[in-house]
Structures are given as structure tokens and as C-alpha cells.
Amino acid sequence: MKVLISADIEGIAGVFHPEQTRAGNGEYEAARRWMTLEANAAIEGAFAGGATQVWVNDSHGGFRNLLPDLLDARAQVVLGKPRTLGMMAGLEYGASLVFMIGYHAMSQTRGILAHTINSFAFARVSLNGVEVGEAGLYGALAEEYGAQVALLSGDDVFAEETAPRFPGARFVVTKSATGHASGVTQSPANARAAIESAAREVVQQHLAEGRAPQATRAAAAKPVECELRVQTSALADLFCQWPTMTRVDAVTLRFSAASAEHVVRMLNCLSAMSFMLR
């Protein structure tokens, strides 16, 4: 049983403010340690449940937040960018299960530090008419590679919006939102204990059910229509330099893609382009 753990920071217990997610200050250094230890709890639980290989993907910002020397030495760590599969890099090694640790709610919701990929650029992302956040986008990519999203952690708003998308998955709620940058959190120690226990039980359950120990790439990806609402008309001007982009109105764009993977790659390219307008 191979497991890929994708770790973000906004859904980590104790994280509430943007300063905690940005390098260069003491609050970030504490938060990245909590992020690392929650990822470690998922790693330890996966191995305790019977996983044979585990990859942990640093999925926040520049993808250089995790502290590898604090992680279980049995796991391999995916760091740095750019990379083709973004927050799901590691799928190419044949993971059967995906854990999303420290994830957050989609843009323009009341979740703690809610956004979708790039808060400066993107206001709303929809796939085939259904609004999605990062979990929905990257979950679709995981499924194209034959992997199942089996465990997710983050705040209560994230869990509520995401549960219908992954009905068989386990959720660990690390904190409850009272606003964009406020709420009530579990202690980091209690959050880690809950994640470790859930990870162990999820892997044990899938092994007991006889899930294949190694996933295979789906035979054919399905075409996807993506609608993207951006934060300003200037961003729409910029993104429409891409020849395949259609402009719907001042801030709404639409493009077709051959697969969820191609949507993710396009959005990550647009996110990188947006930095010229900051």
C-alpha cells in the first residue's frame, strides 16, 4: 500500500493569520513546525496501518516549508517548484491512497484563510459547472491517476464543503472558524493524535477491504470545462493573452482542457503569470 500525503499550512491547528504562512518571521517558523509535525503524524499513522511506502508533498506557497529532519525517516519528501502535478506531485510513483493534511476552504467562503490556489488572482474556480477549492481540483487529479482521497484535515468549513465530494473519506477537524482569521483550535498535540489515529485506521480499512496495493493510471481522462472568476479585470486582460482562453465578462474566463491534470497545470501557469501585476 503506497500513500501520498499532501500537506498545506492554512488548515493546521493553531494557524489563523497570514503572517503565520509567510516566510521571514517567527510566527511562520512556529507554524511550519506544526505543519511538519501534523504531516509526520499522518506518516506515522500510515505506516502503523500497514503502508509500505509514503511520500509527503510540501503543498504550500513555494513548496519549501516542511522540515525534513523532523519527519519519519521512512517517508520521502517532495519539495520545491515548479512541478507538473503541483500539490499532487508524487502520484507518479503509484500511490493508492491520498491524504490531504492542513487543507483549507475555497475562496470567498468563511473558512480560516480561505482561498483557491492564489488569493491575489482567483476568486472562483468551477469544473463542469461545480465550484471547487484546492481539494476538489487536486482530488480530481488524484482520481485520474487511480488514487483515492481517503483522509483530509482542516477547519470545520473545509470539512463541511468538501465532505460531499469525497463521501467515503475520513475528516479530522483541527479547528472551527469564526471568521477569516479567527476561530477555536485544538492543541497541536491533540490534532496530531487525531490525525495519526485516523491515518492508521484508514490504511488498515483499505487493506482489509483488499484495495490494490498499487494504483494504475486511469485509461482515459475526461475533458473538463473550467470557468475562472478572477479578482480584477486587469488579471483577465493578462490571462486572455493565453490563446485558448475565452472571456465571458470583465472578470470571468473559460477554457476547455483534456483532463483535470491539464486544468491544474493551466491554473498554476496563470497563477505564476499573475505575479507581474503585483
User: Same domain for 202 and 229?
Assistant: no
Determine, yes or no, domain membership for 217: no
pLDDT at 211: 63
Determine, yes or no, domain membership for 26: yes
Angle at 99 (CA atoms; ends 46, 211), nearest 5 degrees? 65
Q: Is 176 helix (H, G, I), strand (E, B) or coil?
A: strand
pLDDT at 217 over 90: no
Q: Which helix (H) or strand (E) covers residue 103, if one does?
A: strand 97-103
CA distances, 227 to each of 111, 119, 238 (Å): 22, 16, 16
pLDDT at 119: 95
pLDDT at 241 over 60: yes
262 is in an annotated binding site: no
Q: What is the DSSP letter of 211?
A: -
Q: What is the DSSP letter of 254?
A: E
User: Same domain for 51 and 182?
Assistant: yes
Q: How many domains does the chain have?
A: 2
- The residues near 252 (Cβ < 8 Å, ≥ 6 apart) are 227, 228, 229, 230, 236
pLDDT at 187 over 90: yes
pTM over 0.85: yes
User: Same domain for 147 and 50?
Assistant: yes
Percent of the chain having pLDDT more than 90?
95
Mean pLDDT across 136-164: 97
User: Same domain for 270 and 155?
Assistant: no
Mean pLDDT across 228-251: 98
User: Same domain for 45 and 99?
Assistant: yes
CATH number at residue 56: 3.40.50.10780
Residue with cell 494504483: 215
User: 206 catalytic, yes or no?
Assistant: no
User: Same domain for 17 and 48?
Assistant: yes
10 is in an annotated binding site: yes
Q: Is 238 helix (H, G, I), strand (E, B) or coil?
A: helix
Percent of the chain having pLDDT more than 70?
96
Q: Report how far residue 221's alpha carbon sits from residue 164's, in angstroms, rounded to the nearest whole number.
A: 22
Mean pLDDT, rounded, of the chain: 96
pLDDT at 221: 78
104 is in an annotated binding site: yes
Determine, yes or no, domain membership for 234: yes
User: Across-strand partners of 243?
Assistant: none
pLDDT at 214 over 60: no
Determine, yes or no, domain membership for 112: yes
Q: What is the pLDDT of residues 31-80, one digit of tens each?
A: 999 999 999 999 999 999 999 999 999 999 999 999 999 999 999 999 99
Mean pLDDT across 17-28: 96
The three three-digit cell numbers of residue 22, written as one number: 509567510
pLDDT at 181 over 60: yes
Q: Is 55 helix (H, G, I), strand (E, B) or coil?
A: strand
180 is in an annotated binding site: no
For strands 148-155 and 252-257, give the pairing.
unpaired
For the chain, the straight-line distance linking the first and the last C-alpha, in angstroms and rounded, comes to 43
Task: Identify the domain boundary among 148, 182, 208.
Answer: 208
In this prediction, residue 185 has a pLDDT band, given cuts at 50, 70 and 90, of very high
Q: Show the domain range for 92.
A: 2-117+133-208
Q: Report how far residue 55's alpha carbon sits from residue 98's, in angstroms, rounded to the nearest whole number.
A: 10
Task: Identify the domain boundary among 208, 237, 262.
Answer: 208
Q: Which helix (H) or strand (E) covers residue 204, if one does?
A: helix 188-208
Q: Report how far residue 151's alpha carbon sits from residue 100's, in angstroms, rounded to the nearest whole number.
A: 6
pLDDT at 169 over 80: yes
Given the residues 17, 115, 180, 206, the one annotated as active site: 115
User: Same domain for 269 and 190?
Assistant: no
pLDDT at 216: 54
Residue 161 CB neighbours (<10 A): 20
Check: CB of residue 16 under 8 Å from CB of residue 181. yes
Q: What is the pLDDT of residues 91-138, one digit of tens each?
A: 999 999 999 999 999 999 999 999 999 999 999 999 999 999 999 999
